[in-house]
Structure 1
Amino acid sequence: MERRKVGILGATGMVGQRFIQLLHNHPWFEIAWLAASDRSSGKRYEDACRWKLDTPLPANIAGMTLMPNTPEGTPATELPKIIFAALDSDVAYELEPRFAAAGCAVISNSSAFRMTSDVPLVIPEVNADHLALIEKQSWRKDSGGYIVTNPNCSAIGLVLALKPIHDRFGIEKVFVSTMQAVSGAGYPGVASLDILGNVVPFIKNEEEKMQEEVGKLLGTLSGDHVAMLDAPLSAHCNRVAVEDGHTECVSLKLRTPATYEQMLEAWAEFAPLRGIHEGHPLPSAPDQPVEYVDQVDRPQPRLDRMRGKGMASTVGRLRPCSLFDWKFVVLSHNTIRGAAGAALLNAEILAMLDKLPGGKARSQNVPVALKA
């Protein structure tokens, strides 16, 4: 795969920092442009950013000058045509279409356009075929640009666990209660006196996002839109005093009965990305998207959030449910798999499908359904 130059919108925030961490020395992408709000543009990155991650700020990034966060703020010849966006939804709603109109592939972590009918909401292991929707976007027709989104941080880990179950047995109802890490609130996030020794049983718009997005992710591509999954989901979302890692307690009612062994088999055999990039693995794809742990007290954020380099969904405590059929616990890393890593994996599969500007994929081992 030829290396492509990329840019990051919202580069100084927590998700922007994760993008920098994950893109450093990436074999397919090279950071060439960073942008931030008016209060930071024009500054050196290391002067504008409070680096909060557990790896050093790369020296080549530290000295880069932050550009204005508009496509007009950079000469067209210097603006990368691949933009990773880590913006608040209200800002993204204004800016992301401007970059798409300028011919950029906008790989967004924002919620602004997730539920727009012609914008793909994608987890590559789950619904990569939905990427065909980019061809329906007006930006694609006019300039070649488009927007692709990844889901909410709490929806991603859940849907990875639900997908193989839904494919084999069908899902009729879902109940989920989340315990979400403080890093999901960004920096400085939740005030220490509000969260230490406490649980906050409210995260603005989180329950609504989960309930909508799961339906689109597990829905079926039908021409120019996605037919939503016909299964209600009820979510309770809570903020807890954990740094990284969202834990979710899930109960499922299935359309077809499944045994304990069949449930475990569905998760163990779920690795669809292997079949579409043999010999050309996606750099960020976990070998096993869903890992089951059979210890009675797992998964735990401290012990399990970095499975698959933070890109796997960890499941445990599968047992019968007295209200529905089965219940279990899901854990995923909210700023890696749930944010920057999810967008990066979307960009990688777009590159493999030759849907990204600035290079050519070498792998032709792609199913016809994804080439469409």
Structure 2
Amino acid sequence: MTSKESIDIEVQIREPDSSESISDQIDDLTNSWDAPDNKENPRNWSALKKACHIIPVSLLCLSVTAGSSMITPGAFAIARKFHVSHTAALLPLSLFVLGLAIGPVLGAPISETRGRGIVYKVSMPLYMLFILGAGFSDSFAGLLVCRTLAAIAGAPCLAIGAGTVADLFEPSSMAAPGALVVMAPFLGPCLGPVIGGFAATYTEYRWTQWSTIFLALAAYILVLPTQETHRKVLLKRKAQRMGLPPPEPELPPREAIKMLLTITLFRPIRMLVSEPIVLLYSLYNAFTFSVLFAFFEAYPFVFMGEYGFNIWQYGLTFLGIGLGVILGALGAVVVDLTVYQKFVRKGGDRIKNKGPEQRLYIGMIGDLCLPIG
């Protein structure tokens, strides 16, 4: 046997051992990640550090949804400037809400592969630039286009905010931080008319857009120091530092596009059609959201037309809805402590089979309060 043949045989023998060693290291990396003493795992961070990641994200969500309604007190000025009807002047609000539905479809898949941080830190500057364009627009069409694109750019934070909560907390302890992240997008539309009412009364409607940028910029500055929280991305980075291949290899571009179409786009549609709980819950949320945004068009006719309020006084009427949003979030925490946590403490298969339904009681209470309100 020649020395070359001997070397080839030796390599063939060693290769499986080397491969097995790398596989073992990857398994050790994945298994050790969930250890309670692993400070790289966001779920093991201190309560203060978690708060420093949840609060900025909540404020980011609040700033985007506040931007949706902040322009409504300026609808009368928009109608005069562009010579359109009052109904047409409300299109900057309506198209913004449409953009909020489109943005998450694009942002959520990116956050699952590239991380939460890059979505927050890239989408928000685009959002502010489009709002800037809306403020400087000298045509009604330009205003509508910029507002729609701004919503698409700003909406991803609304979709992945819940993902950040899931990165930081165990499912059994997500109620309080989850309530904060859910409260913020609903509190934003209530604060928007309050700020926009003063801006439209004492300046011009363009200041509703400048105020939107100031609010978004303040939230964005708080987000900049935050770290990545997504488990998959953090494991990949640690594997790279250790010289290991990623635990979950990246798909080729063609396969990634196929996965985007089949899982991200078509699977939610299929679930919406085939899963009754998803369909009914989506209809419930859509209805409550539509009622909230219908107020932005109805309140001026009621409070300005019937009660003689001026623009900034009409904006203050939304503080009542804001108070209701805060009470709803507190109610969710109370229901979690009094119902769900008791269920968790009993443990066993019962929590796996019937635990999630215990979180729906706050929705049932809200379902009764909505028509009363």
The normalised TM-score by structure 2 is 0.23
Structure with greater strand share of residues: 1
Structure with the larger helix share: 2
TM-score, structure 1 normalization: 0.23
